[in-house]
Structure formats: structure tokens, C-alpha cells
Amino acid sequence: MLKITNLHVKLEDEDKQILKGINLEVPAGEVHAIMGPNGSGKSTLSYVLSGRGGYEVTEGSAHLGDIDLLDLEPEERAAAGLFLAFQYPVEIPGVGNMTFLRTAVNAQRKARGEEELSAGDFLKIIRAKAKALKIDAEMLKRPVNVGFSGGEKKRNEILQMAMLEPKMCILDETDSGLDVDAMKLVSEGVNALRDPNRGFLVITHYQRLLDHIKPDVVHIMAAGRIIKTGGPELALEVEQNGYADMMEGAA
Ligand code: ADP
Ligand code: MG
Ligand code: MG
């Protein structure tokens, strides 16, 4: 599903190399976690995959199925089935949450050659999905993320993901800033989307999210490289010993 090969990335206007040869394969149906200390390049990886500017790929490739992601505009990547839940969701004043979601969903359907959803069908679907995430009607009417609490913003990201039904979901520290109840809601929302035809890349700083979203594979990233790959037990190892031992082992 997602295949990243020898990916090297630097900042566009600075001579700073951030990703130094990332190799990563997430097959359909699997959940892979990426853990690693602050500043290791986890968010950069998610930005480069989703097409945010400011970065330059100097070597390597990234494919979603047969599609070369790095050749596409951000909206084309989304249409191809890639979704990124942001570490810091953006506020969009003046654009109603519901309108935003309906536009996004219909653009997605159009790109897939499907008919637009009628207003009635859209409402039915969004109400059911919002309810599961405890997002009330009021939040659907407000401008996107404006005045939302940290937890509400993260739940709203999961609602977007649930509505868009992407092939490959990347979640960047969706757990950060969440209390226990919100984390449970978010995890349930993610688990409900687990599917043999869908892959997940879950970036997290802490092991606790992975108690709820059980990963198939855990990768440890440090200083722009994946230094270790293993099963869920790797996350527990990090929780107990921190990253220092692994980083020494990799150096
Ligand atoms: P992580 O998500 O693992 O905490 P990031 O991808 O946010 O790491 O950052 C990796 C490194 O790249 C950090 O040293 C960060 O300061 C730097 N970096 C990332 N993006 C930018 C940018 N746009 N401008 C300057 N430095 C950046
Ligand atoms: Mg960080
Ligand atoms: Mg980050």
C-alpha cells in the first residue's frame, strides 16, 4: 500500500537535512506505529508524504500502490486516498465545518468517479459518524476548528478521516493533548476504520495510545532514520527504557 524507499529530505531554503534515508512499507490491513524523540523527523515525514511545501526531496521515492506520491499536488494525493490527521489541526475561520466536510467528501467522490452525495444522505452519514465521536451538532455548524478545544480538534480530524474513507491514514501525534476519555474516543474512531483494504501510520510520542490502537509493527525513528523495527513489544521497551539505549545501539 504505502512504500517509502530511501527517502532523503532537506529544508527547501536551508542546508538542513532532516530525513536521511527512510525505508518503510505499510501493507494494506496493517497498522504501523512510528515512535521517536522530539525532532527526529516524524512530522516532516508526514508533511512530505502529504505534499506540504518548504521541503525538498533530494533522493528516494514514496508510492501509494502504483501511484508516485511525490509527483502529485497535495489535493491529488488526497484524491488518491492519502489522509493526514495533523499534529496541530488548523483553524479555518469563515468556513463551516459541515460545509468543509461536504465539499471534501464530494471532491473525493468526484475524483473516484462516484456521484456526489445528496444533502440528505450526507447529513445521515455525518450525524452517525459525529455521534460516535461525541461531536455535537453545534460543533458541526461552527467554523472548522475555530474555538475548539485541543481534544475537539483531534476528534474533528478523526471525523474528517471517517468521512473521507482514505486508503492510507497518517495520524501525527493525534494523542497529544488528549485526556483519557478523549483518547479512548479517538482510538475507537480509528479502530472502527481498521479494514483489510486500509493502512495506518500512527505517529506517537508515547506508548499509551498503542494500548488502544494495537499496532502490527512499531518503528523507532531518531535523527532522520528508522533505527529499529519490531512488534508491539518495542513500544513497551521504549516506555521502560526510553530511546537512549536504542540510539546508542544504532550509532
Ligand atoms: P518530530 O515530529 O519528530 O518532532 P519534526 O519533523 O517536527 O520532528 O522536525 C525534525 C527536525 O527538523 C527538527 O530539528 C525541526 O526543528 C526541523 N524542522 C522541521 N521543519 C522545519 C522547518 N520548516 N523549518 C526549520 N526547521 C524545521
Ligand atoms: Mg515533535
Ligand atoms: Mg512532530
* Structure confidence by residue, pLDDT tens digits, 20-45: 999 999 999 999 999 999 999 999 99
Q: Which regions of the chain are under pLDDT 70?
A: 249-251
Write out pLDDT tens, residues 73-96.
999 999 999 999 988 899 999 999
Torsion of the alpha carbons at 183, 154, 81 and 8, rounded to the nearest 10 = -90
User: Are residues 108 and 63 part of one domain?
Assistant: yes
Question: How far apart are the CA of 85 and the centre of ligand 2, in A?
Answer: 14
pTM of the model: 0.93
User: Are residues 173 and 96 part of one domain?
Assistant: yes
Which residue, judged by its Cα, is nearest atom 20 of ligand 1?
A: 44
Q: What residues does 34 pair with on adjacent strands? A: 203, 219
User: Are residues 160 and 80 part of one domain?
Assistant: yes
End-to-end CA gap in the chain: 30
Atom number of ligand 1 nearest to Cα 172: 2
Distance CA 114, CA 251 (A): 50
User: Are residues 130 and 69 part of one domain?
Assistant: yes
Q: Is the CB of 11 under 6 A from ligand 1?
A: yes
Q: Is the CB of 54 under 6 A from ligand 1?
A: yes
User: Are residues 172 and 54 part of one domain?
Assistant: yes
Q: pLDDT at position 206, please?
A: 80
Which residue, judged by its Cα, is nearest atom 21 of ligand 1?
A: 11
Q: pLDDT at position 175, please?
A: 86
Question: How far apart are the CA of 36 and the centre of ligand 3, in A?
Answer: 9
In a domain, 95, yes or no: yes
Q: How many residues are given for the chain?
A: 251
Q: What residues does 155 pair with on adjacent strands? A: none
Domain total of the chain = 2
User: Are residues 193 and 71 part of one domain?
Assistant: yes
Residue 134, burial from CB neighbour count under 10 angstroms (0-12, 13-18, 19+): middle
Q: Which spans in the chain are helix H?
A: 42-50, 74-79, 97-111, 119-132, 137-141, 150-164, 180-193, 209-212, 233-241, 244-250
Domain that holds residue 141: 2-31+43-216
